[in-house]
Amino acid sequence: MAKTIMIFGAGINQLTLIEAARELGLTSVVIDPQETPPGKAKADFFYQVTGDDYQRTKEIAEKNNVDGIVTGQMENPLKIMARLAQEMGYIFHSPKVIERSTNKYLMKQAFLANGIPCAKGDLISNGKLLTEEELTKYSYPLIIKPLNAFSSKGVYRIDNYEDYTKIVSKTLEFSDNGSYLIEEFIDGPEYSVETITYHGETTIIQYTEKMITPYPNTVEIGHFQPAELSEVQKRNIDKIVKEAIFSLGIDNSAAHTEVKWSEKGPIVLEIGPRLGGDFIASYLTKASTGIDMDKAAIKVALGEKPDLRVTKNKGSVILYLTLPPFSVIKKISDNSLSEIPNLISYYLAIKDRDVISPLTDSAKRSGWVITGGTNRQEAEIAAECAIRRLRDSIELL
């Protein structure tokens, strides 16, 4: 009899996860707060459930004899999943691990306690506004971020006290308890590392190089695989990533670790205890390594050994469409990119008459293209061609 996997989320970021369950011969039970999300049609059973309705979620799991639970590329359902796993015996993080992994200050404390190199910083509570004198204990530039937000929401670089006074209110908009972090700014290129941990052993799957917006915002607008790293850099990164994952108690799970390479070597920024977002763990990693991380995450959730054999050594890229803020979309013409070589997927999140929002977080991005290639350079050329074609299809007022 086929096993049943409960998938949290049916948005565009979970489509490959739902498809992976079907390819594995599993029955998928998918829940999402939206009535008709993109993944609804792909699910064997779909239920509309609000993100905070634990009792309804538990009833659905019991009704469908669910064998395991999984999500992809988002953090909203992690706490409710941890509670469900604790009560029903599913393989998933404990509530304590989720708390450490979603509370940026607790994460930093775990890193420091275990000797993991990370940015120095302090927790500012109760919406307190620091005086210019209080900020003199730090050296500019600094990073300010909410305690438990995600997708770059409320994260800014500040270069002086005037920046702080202008930006702190924007950061607090994404803090559910009025707390935020002030951190030292780590200079250097930024990477993410995709991993699978199974029975205490962490496997490094792929390294991704990031491109972000100009400061003060820190929104990701491009990802490139494989990252251009030396073997020595990879070994150093591997060591601290594995130690950082262990320090948080992450096991039997995918993880997405953000790292900067500084003049002192690798510095861990944050870890997401789940599949990486921005299609890194799905489209990009599968195209560059051949490893299906969606299937691996499902296997681990069911207590089965994942297949992590590298079958490809290629390149992959995602570029996000950027448009002038506050511009208005007059018309979007035919944007078929089917003739673009090495195109894997593309998407437009805008329509006629939309007003383009300033790019302050990941949710504000207007669209994307994903390409592959025999190597990273080939994938980059294809991505640049595709993003130009997509941009040219848009007429602004």
Order of strands, sheet of 142-146, starting from the edge strand that comes earlier in the sequence: 121-124, 180-184, 142-146, 156-158
User: Residues 392, 384: contact at Cβ < 8 Å?
Assistant: no
pLDDT tens-place string over residues 14-54: 999 999 999 999 999 999 999 999 999 999 999 999 989 99
Alpha helix positions (H), the chain:
15-23, 54-63, 78-88, 95-102, 104-113, 161-172, 231-248, 285-289, 293-301, 376-392
Q: Does residue 19 or residue 135 have the better pLDDT? A: 19
- CA gap 39, 9 in Å, rounded: 8
- Is-contact 145 133, C-beta < 8 A? no
Percent above pLDDT 70 for the chain? 100
| pLDDT tens column, 236-273 | 999 999 999 999 999 999 999 999 999 999 999 999 99
Long-range interactions of 48-51: CB distance < 8 A, separation 24+: 51/76, 51/77, 51/80
Cβ–Cβ < 8 Å for 154, 145 = yes
Query: What would the two tokens of residue 147 be?
Result: 């305690």
pLDDT of residue 14: 95
Tens-digit pLDDT profile for residues 54-88: 999 999 999 999 999 999 888 889 999 999 999 99
In angstroms, the CA 124 to CA 224 distance is 35
pLDDT beyond 90 at 138? no
Confidence (pTM): 0.93
- Token pair 């018309």: residue: 331
**Looking at the predicted structure, is the pLDDT value of residue 150 above 80?**
no
- Reduced to 3 states (helix: H, G, I; strand: E, B; else coil), residue 141 is coil
Integer CA distances (angstroms), 221 to 30, 326, 382, in order: 29, 18, 16
| The two structure tokens encoding residue 243 | 């130690």
**Domains of the chain with CATH codes:** 4-92 (3.40.50.20), 98-104+187-307 (3.30.470.20), 120-184 (3.30.1490.20), 316-396 (3.90.1170)
pLDDT of residue 178 exceeding 80 = yes
Q: Measured on CA atoms in the order 111, 115, 119, 122, is the torsion positive or negative?
A: positive
| Residue 137, pLDDT score | 86
Confidence of residue 142 (pLDDT cuts 50, 70, 90): very high
Does residue 317 contact residue 376 with C-beta atoms inside 8 Å?
yes
**DSSP-derived secondary structure letter, 45:** E
Give the residue among 247, 143, 359, 283 at the shortest CA–CA distance from 257.
247
Average pLDDT over residues 202-224: 94
Residue 175 predicted with pLDDT over 90: no
- The per-residue pLDDT for 345 is 93
How far is residue 87's CA from residue 223's CA, in Å, rounded to a whole number?
38
